[in-house]
Amino acid sequence: MKMTSTSFDFASWPPELSETQLEETTRYATTYALAHGLLYLPQLPIQPPIPSSAIHAPLSLFPTPIPRRLFSLAQQLQNFYNILYARIALDVEFLDKVMGAEEGVGRVDEFTGKLWRGWKEIRDEGVQRPLQLGLFRSDYLLHARENEPLELKQVEFNTISSSFGTLSEQTAKLHRYLHATTGYYDLSPVLKEENFPPNQTTAGLAEGLAAAHKAYGNKSAYILFVVQAGERNVFDQRWLEYALLERHSIHVVRQTFDELMTSASLDSNRVLKLTLPTKSAPIEISTIYFRAGYTPTDYPGTEHYSIRFLLERSKAINCPSIPLQLAGGKKVQEVLTQPGVLETFTKDWNYPGTTSQEFIDILRLSWMPMWGLDQTGERKILSGSEQHLGVQKARDRFSTLVLKPQREGGGNNVYKEAIPEFLDNLLPEERQAWIAMELISPPQGIQGYLIRSGSSSASGDTQHAPVKTEVISELGIFGWALFGFEDGHVDEKEVGWLVRTKGRESNEGGVATGFSVLDSIVLVDE
C-alpha cells in the first residue's frame, strides 16, 4: 500500500551495513563521541563531586531522512512560536483562566497550583516584572496519511529546560565525520555533504542567554544555572557554559535548589546575590537559567518552592519565569486549538512577509486534533455513571490517542490500550489536568542502527551493542525570545535543531529517561 506521495522510499532506510562495516562505523562513532564531548556521566548510585569517568551518549549511526520542505517549514514555524509563547506568558488573564488554581488546571493539579499561587502572591505584592527569556524547543513528528504528502505535526512546545541542544550539535558533527571518513561506503546517493544541514545550536542558545545578560546591564554579573543534584546530562549544560565564557566573556555558576537555600538572597533593590565559599564577596546574578524545576520531584519541600519564588521576585531575568513555564503546559497547547483562541494572540501580527491569517493557518496545520478530558457537551450514561464528552470521546477512540498531563521530562503519558483502565481510575475532579491528543502516524518501515552505552562492568569498561530496528524520529527546533520590553516588541531567533530517535515499539521519547538516542538530519527531496 502506498502511504505517501513522496519519492523518497523511507522503508528502504538506512542502507544495509555488512558486519565489517558495522564494526568499523561503530568504532569510529563511539571514539568520536568520547573525544568530542558527546557524553553522559555513568549511571552510579551516587555521582561523585568530582567526576572521573564518562560514557558516550546514546546515538544513531545514520542520520534520519527529513524532507527538505518540512525542515524549512519547521524552522519558519519556530519564529512564529517564539512570539506566540512570549505573548501568552504576558497575558496574565489568560494564564489565570487556563492554568490558575482558582478556575484553571491549578485547581486539580497540585504542582501547577503551587507554582501559580506563588506567582499570584508575587503579583499581589506589586513586584515589577523584569524582562523574561525563553529558550524554547518545538518538537515534531512526520505524519503520513495514505496517498497524501507527508505533513509536519507538533508533539509539544517546551518552555523550560529544553535540553540536548549542544549534544545534538555534536551528533550532527559526528554524522558529518562518519561521512567524511567512510563516505558511508557509497551506500546511498542522499548521503552527501549538501544534504547535511548546519547545526549551530550551542552558539544560538548562548546568544539568547547573552542577550538577556546584556539587557540586565551589569557586565560583571554571573548567569545562574539551576540544576538537579546528580545530573548525568551535565555535558549538555557545560557546552553552553563554555560558549558563554569563550564567546561572550560571561561567567556561569551552577547551583541546586538545596544549595540556593544557603547561598541566595535579595538586597533592598531585589538584586539577586549568591554568597559562595569560593568567592571573597557575593556575586550578582543577571539571568537565571532553569535546568531544574520542571517536575514535582525537584521540590521535595516547601522550602524548595520558597527558593523558586525568591528567584522569581528578583530583578534577574528568569529563563523561564513562572508564567512562561505555565505557558508551556499541555492544557495551553490544547486551548490554543479551540476556535478563536489563537486569533486573540495574533490580531496585530506583523512578522515580515506573513499576514496574521497566514500565520494562523500555518500554525493550525501543524496541530493534531486534541481536547480536554473535562470537555463538556453531550453526555451519556456509561456503566451506570455520567460521562463528560471529553472522557467519552477518549473511550471511543482510545486506540488512536495519547493522554497527556501537565508534566515535562518524559515518561508521563498514557497511550492507546492503557487508556480505558486509566480513565476508570481517573477521578472526575482530575480530568481538567489531562488532554487527549490524536496520535501522529510517522512513516512506517524506516529503520536505524542505534547504539547505547552498556552497563558498567567491574573494570569500569562499557559494552556497545548496535541494534538495527524499526524507528520513529522526532525533530526539535530551538529558538529564543527576550520579551517584556515597554514597547511590546520581542527579540527572537530560531537557532538550531535536534533529532531524537527511538524504537517504534516505544511510546515515550526522552533521551534522558532512556527511551531515545541522539540523531541528526539528512535532507531528502520529494
* Band (465; pLDDT cuts 50, 70, 90): confident
Residues 401 and 450 in one domain: no
Omega of the bond leading into 320 within 30 degrees of 0 (cis): yes
Residue 48 falls within a domain, yes or no? no
**d(C-alpha 461, C-alpha 383), whole Å:** 56
Grid coordinates standing for 1?
500500500
- What CATH number is associated with residue 374? 3.30.1490.50
- Cβ neighbors of 4 (< 8 A, separation 6 or more) are 144, 145, 146, 147, 148, 149, 150, 443
Look up the pTM and report it. 0.93
Q: Alpha carbon of 520 to those of 101, 175, 199, 301, 476: distances in Å?
A: 41, 7, 9, 39, 10
Residues 328 and 424 in one domain: no
In this structure, are residues 108 and 331 in contact, taking their beta carbons and an 8 Å threshold? no
pLDDT by residue (tens digit) across 85-125?
Answer: 999 999 999 999 999 999 999 999 999 999 999 999 999 99
Residues 227 and 376 in one domain: no
Residue 259 falls within a domain, yes or no? yes
**What local confidence, expressed as pLDDT, does residue 511 receive?**
52
Residues 234 and 382 in one domain: no
In this structure, are residues 82 and 326 in contact, taking their beta carbons and an 8 Å threshold? no
Residues 221 and 144 in one domain: yes
- DSSP assigned state of 305: H
Q: Are strands 283-290 and 317-319 parallel, antiparallel or unpaired?
A: parallel
Q: For residue 137, is pLDDT > 80?
A: yes
Residue 500 a catalytic site member: yes
Mean pLDDT of 13-30: 96
**What local confidence, expressed as pLDDT, does residue 507 receive?**
57
pLDDT by residue (tens digit) across 287-344?
Answer: 999 999 999 999 999 999 999 999 999 999 999 999 999 999 999 999 999 999 999 9
Percent of the chain with pLDDT over 70: 92
Residue 2 falls within a domain, yes or no? no
Residue 118 a catalytic site member: no
Alpha helices in 217-252 (DSSP H): 234-248
Residues 100 and 129 in one domain: yes
pLDDT by residue (tens digit) across 78-90?
Answer: 999 999 999 999 9
Residues 223 and 339 in one domain: yes
Residue 330 a catalytic site member: yes
**What local confidence, expressed as pLDDT, does residue 386 receive?**
46
Total structural domains within the chain:
2
Beta pairing partners, 497: 477
Residue 4 falls within a domain, yes or no? no
Residues 347 and 405 in one domain: no
Residues 426 and 459 in one domain: no
pLDDT by residue (tens digit) across 447-457?
Answer: 999 998 754 43
Residues 155 and 236 in one domain: yes
**d(C-alpha 207, C-alpha 204), whole Å:** 5
Annotated catalytic residue: which of 82, 100, 104, 137?
A: 137
Residues 159 and 234 in one domain: yes
Annotated catalytic residue: which of 208, 500, 509, 510?
A: 500
**What local confidence, expressed as pLDDT, does residue 395 receive?**
93
Residue 21 falls within a domain, yes or no? yes
In this structure, are residues 500 and 450 in contact, taking their beta carbons and an 8 Å threshold? no
* Band (515; pLDDT cuts 50, 70, 90): low
- DSSP assigned state of 337: T
Residue 137 a catalytic site member: yes
Mean pLDDT of 146-150: 90
Of 379, 408, 438, the position where a domain reaches its end is: 438
Residue 484 a catalytic site member: no
pLDDT by residue (tens digit) across 6-21?
Answer: 589 999 999 999 999 9
Residue 156 a catalytic site member: yes
**What local confidence, expressed as pLDDT, does residue 385 receive?**
45
Annotated catalytic residue: which of 151, 169, 408, 492?
A: 408
Residue 50 falls within a domain, yes or no? no
Q: Mean pLDDT score of the chain, rounded to an integer? A: 91
* Band (410; pLDDT cuts 50, 70, 90): low
Residue 158 a catalytic site member: yes
Mean pLDDT of 250-266: 98
Of 395, 416, 438, the position where a domain reaches its end is: 438
Phi, psi of 141 (to 5 degrees): -125, 150
Angular region, 383: left φ>0, alpha ψ -120 to 50, beta rest: left
pLDDT by residue (tens digit) across 342-396?
Answer: 999 988 877 777 777 888 888 999 999 999 998 876 444 334 444 578 999 999 9
Annotated catalytic residue: which of 37, 259, 356, 409?
A: 409
Residue 3 falls within a domain, yes or no? no
Of 438, 459, 475, the position where a domain reaches its end is: 438
Annotated catalytic residue: which of 273, 330, 407, 493?
A: 330
Residues 111 and 204 in one domain: yes
Concatenated DSSP letters for 160-223? Answer: S----HHHHHHHHHHHHHHHHHHGGGG--TT-SGGGS----HHHHHHHHHHHHHHHHT-TT-EE
Annotated catalytic residue: which of 156, 231, 241, 312?
A: 156
**d(C-alpha 526, C-alpha 524), whole Å:** 7
Grid coordinates standing for 422?
486509566
Residue 408 a catalytic site member: yes
Mean pLDDT of 49-61: 92
Mean pLDDT of 404-409: 80
- Cβ neighbors of 124 (< 8 A, separation 6 or more) are none
Residue 36 carries which side chain, given as an amino acid letter? H
Residue 254 a catalytic site member: no
354, 358, 359, 365: CA torsion to nearest 10: -140
In terms of residue numbers, what domain contains 227?
Answer: 10-43+55-366+440-524
**d(C-alpha 294, C-alpha 228), whole Å:** 10
